[in-house]
Amino acid sequence: MTQTLALFMDAYRLLNARKIFWITLVLSLLVVSSFALVGIDDEGISIAWWDLGIPEINTGAGGYTKAWFYKTMFTSLGINIWLTWVATILGLVTTASIFPEFVTAGSIDIILSKPIGRFRLFLTKYTTGLLFVILQVSVFTGASFLVIGLRGGVWEPGLFIAIPLVVLFFSYLFSVCAVLGIITRSTIASLLLTILFWFMLFIVQSAEQSLMVFDMLVQQRVTAYEDAVERTRQRLETVEDPDDMERWGFLHETLEKREVSLAAAQGSSDNLETWHNGLLGVMTVLPKTGETIQLIERWTIDLAELPEMSGETSRPMISEDDQFTPDEEKLGKDIQDAIRNRSPWWILGTSLLFEIFILCIGAWRFQRRDF
Amino acid sequence: MQPCVAFGSLCNSMSSNGYVIDVHDVHKTYKKRIKALQGVDLQVGSGEIFGLLGPNGAGKSTLVKILMTVVRPDKIGGTFLGASVGQKEPLSKVGYLPEHHHFPGYLTGLQVIEFSGAMCGMPKRERRANAGKLLDRVGMTRWGSSRLNSYSKGMLQRVGLAQALVNDPKVVLLDEPTDGVDPVGRREIRDLLLELRDEGHSIFLNSHLLSELEMVCDRVAIMVQGRVSMQGTIDELTKDSKRYEIQVLGPCPAWIESHPDASVETVEAEARISIATDDPEAIQPIIDRLRNEGRSITRVHAVRDSLEELFMRAVVDESGNVAAPGAQIESRRGSGGDAP
């Protein structure tokens, strides 16, 4: 325990000595302060003393609540943009040097000559590397909790779920950075390769979500063509002498065209589903950075807090001139449901498995290496 | 302390009792070709200052790193503080200062020493008390609260030495401890090492400064290309080189050349007669004869090889070639070579 505490103390001293840590912390507090400047009441939104009077946001009875407003600001701006992008990049820049400096000749000799096993040393050092993000996100969430409580009138302890989730998100990237640091012994190389890896994750996740949206859209197209084919058939059944091609030839032609379009849409749907499932398989073995962060929104914002939707969903349609009109409201809801219904165990469990796998590689390398 | 003169592996049969370091047949090859250690046998007694010398790349640092578990040996036998080498437990009773040490610049001298103590598992109160005393002992009390990035190399060396001593170690391994230290500081470090020995600590020194080692070491070993070529007390190692030198004015007498143990050298107007013996009685007849011949004797003194001469003897092979620096490299075709 003494050794673990000493390593944590050393990590704190390292952060304390780095200006970027304090700059990030001050910026975090500025971001939270900006939340506090934004006010919301029945008359609309205000910034400090200025009433913006934005009519699109219904803040009156039956509209958006204060709690929803501040929590959305917290998740959308605070977490999704500030902590997951800006603060994470600053965090990686600050911590990328931890392992390359740790294994520098002359430094590693002293630490390895102490009565502490290499495996424990590696894991403890890795954990101390997360101290940057633990402190940053704790301060940010604590300050946001106060702002939402004081300004929004809602004391929402659920916000603190952001601390473990953001730390977990950062840990996926830091595990890669740490192992690259051990292997390459270069801060620049480990930082750049980690950012490249993160970008690759972003591409894979974006592609998966895009394919999911396309798939849903094509599903709507299939439904619309099925309806259109059915409608055309019914019409042909109801007409007098449907085999009179001179009179009803255009209906046969429309039916045939729609059946061809339906088959094409079904083919596209099958293809998209195959690709989507393939990408989902790839995603399963990779850390799910975006989805881990989305869990914060899932767990802090209850959909019931949103104002009632119009509830008027219409079936997707094929018009008489064969134009497809999707049901956008249903599409939006389906996407939201699909994302919200993904199992947290799948999101966090598989991501953690990836992290453990990467850390095992790092620990093995650290264990076997001569310094 | 049990004296041991080892040319090759004479010490193999010795019991490990009384030795804090007793390793046999240590082998280490880097990248499957660079033979850093090729069967090292080495013993360090309790409460002695032991010096390990050797040219660059001889394998000294590799051996120390193996003892400190920084490098994994290919093969090793023997013990370190009674336990197998590679085990972590004995390291709580070991202090270590590597050659090119690197302490984080954001720490103060006091924090470096305390951190080292904490990593040895020492309780806070004890390590804090020891850190203060050690700063005083290495003459760094005034600088204890300053960050290391404001230290000179000599100051870093002193703090490095203090951190190696924080856990009151039984064995202290120091790799070039006086590197970058001014002459006054070197003397202070030498005195500190002697004090530590008197307190019962065993000290293992790696150094290129032969004159300094000669002043403090009880025993030395000389490593050449991954092997220990000599090991023992300086007295034992230089026993064969003991001789008496007689300097006389004028040319060398002709009769001296027939003496089986004598060699002669003429320096300016003097002849220097060297008699290979450590027995003063053996030179009395020569002195008597020189006196009878009316020769003026200007100097008679007993000499032996210095550590530097011993070292040079160790690194020169039978054909007179100086061993190239660096470890042996096994070429891909199988013939040997030397690492740059």
Q: How far is B72 from chain A (nearest CA, A)?
A: 6
Report the C-alpha gap between B331 and B227 in whole angstroms.
19
Closest CA to A201 of A276, A285, A299: A285
Question: Does residue B147 share a domain with residue B56?
Answer: yes
Question: Does residue B185 share a domain with residue B290?
Answer: no
Residues on chain B touching A105 (C-beta within 8 angstroms):
98, 100, 102
Out of A34-43, B60-69, B138-147, B155-164, pick the least confident: A34-43
Question: Does residue B108 share a domain with residue B16?
Answer: yes
Residue A128 Cα distances to A11, A89, B123, angstroms: 6, 18, 21
At A4, give phi and psi (nearest 5°): -60, -45
Yes or no, beta carbons of B98 and A106 under 8 Å apart: yes
Around Cβ A14, how many Cβ atoms within 10 Å? 22
Query: A367 — contact with chain B (CB < 8 Å)?
Result: no
pLDDT digits (tens, 9 = 90+) for B42-78: 999 999 999 999 888 889 999 999 999 999 999 999 9
Residues on chain B touching A22 (C-beta within 8 angstroms):
none
DSSP A163-194: HHHHHHHHHHHHHHHHHHHHHH--HHHHHHHH
Q: Are strands B202-206 and B171-175 parallel, antiparallel or unpaired?
A: parallel
CB contact at 8 A, A298 and A175: no
- Report the run of H or E that residue B288 belongs to, with start and end: helix B284-292
Question: Does residue B273 share a domain with residue B146?
Answer: no
Question: Does residue B83 share a domain with residue B32?
Answer: yes
Query: A20 — contact with chain B (CB < 8 Å)?
Result: no
Yes or no, beta carbons of A6 and B115 under 8 Å apart: yes
Does residue B340 lie within any of the structural domains?
no
Question: Does residue B174 share a domain with residue B263?
Answer: no
Around Cβ A140, how many Cβ atoms within 10 Å? 26
Residues of chain A with pLDDT under 50: none
Q: How far is A25 from chain B (nearest CA, A)?
A: 20
pLDDT digits (tens, 9 = 90+) for A3-46: 999 999 999 998 888 888 889 889 889 988 888 888 777 667 77
Report the C-alpha gap between B111 and B94 in whole angstroms.
19
Interface of B with A in 76-135 (CB under 8 A): 88-92, 94, 96, 98-104, 106-107, 111, 115-116, 118-124
Q: What 8-state DSSP symbol labels residue A83?
A: I
CB contact at 8 A, B119 and A111: yes
Q: Say which CATH number the domain at B122 has.
A: 3.40.50.300
The pLDDT of residue A308? 56
Q: Which residue range is the domain that position B214 belongs to?
A: 10-237
Q: How far is B101 from chain A (nearest CA, A)?
A: 4
The pLDDT of residue A366? 95
* Nearest-5° Cα angle at A291, A307 to A300: 40
Question: Does residue B18 share a domain with residue B125?
Answer: yes
Q: Are strands B171-175 and B94-97 parallel, antiparallel or unpaired?
A: parallel
CB contact at 8 A, B40 and B51: no
Question: Does residue B297 share a domain with residue B157?
Answer: no
At B259, give phi and psi (nearest 5°): -70, 130
Query: A1 — contact with chain B (CB < 8 Å)?
Result: no
pLDDT digits (tens, 9 = 90+) for A218-271: 998 898 889 889 988 888 888 888 788 788 888 888 889 889 989 999 999 999
DSSP A254-265: HHHHHHHHHHHH
DSSP B36-104: EEEEEEEEEETT-EEEEE-STTSSHHHHHHHHTTSS--SEEEEEETTEETT-SGGGGGEEEE-TT----
Q: What is the pTM of this model?
A: 0.81
pLDDT at B8 exceeding the cut of 50 = no
Of B91, B106, B163, the CB nearest to A115: B91
DSSP alpha helices (H): ranges in A96-160? 98-102, 108-112, 118-129, 131-152
Query: A19 — contact with chain B (CB < 8 Å)?
Result: no
Question: Does residue B258 share a domain with residue B207?
Answer: no
CB contact at 8 A, A201 and A355: no
Report the C-alpha gap between B169 and B173 in whole angstroms.
10
Question: Does residue B102 share a domain with residue B34?
Answer: yes
pLDDT digits (tens, 9 = 90+) for B100-135: 899 999 999 999 999 999 999 999 999 999 999 999
Query: A120 — contact with chain B (CB < 8 Å)?
Result: no
Question: Does residue B90 share a domain with residue B210?
Answer: yes
Q: How far is B87 from chain A (nearest CA, A)?
A: 8
pLDDT at B338 exceeding the cut of 60 = no
Does residue B330 lie within any of the structural domains?
no
Yes or no, beta carbons of B119 and A368 under 8 Å apart: no
The pLDDT of residue B9? 34
Q: Say which CATH number the domain at B283 has.
A: 3.30.70
Question: Does residue B62 share a domain with residue B102?
Answer: yes
Sheet containing B243-249: give its strands across.
Answer: B262-267, B270-275, B243-249, B297-303
What is the dihedral angle through the alpha carbons of B206, B91, A114, B110, rounded to the nearest 10 degrees?
Answer: -70
Taking all residues of chain B, what is their mean pLDDT, rounded to a whole number? 85
A192: its two tokens: 């750049």
Does residue B78 lie within any of the structural domains?
yes
Q: How far is B2 from chain A (nearest CA, A)?
A: 27
Does residue B331 lie within any of the structural domains?
no
Report the C-alpha gap between A147 and B330 in whole angstroms.
69
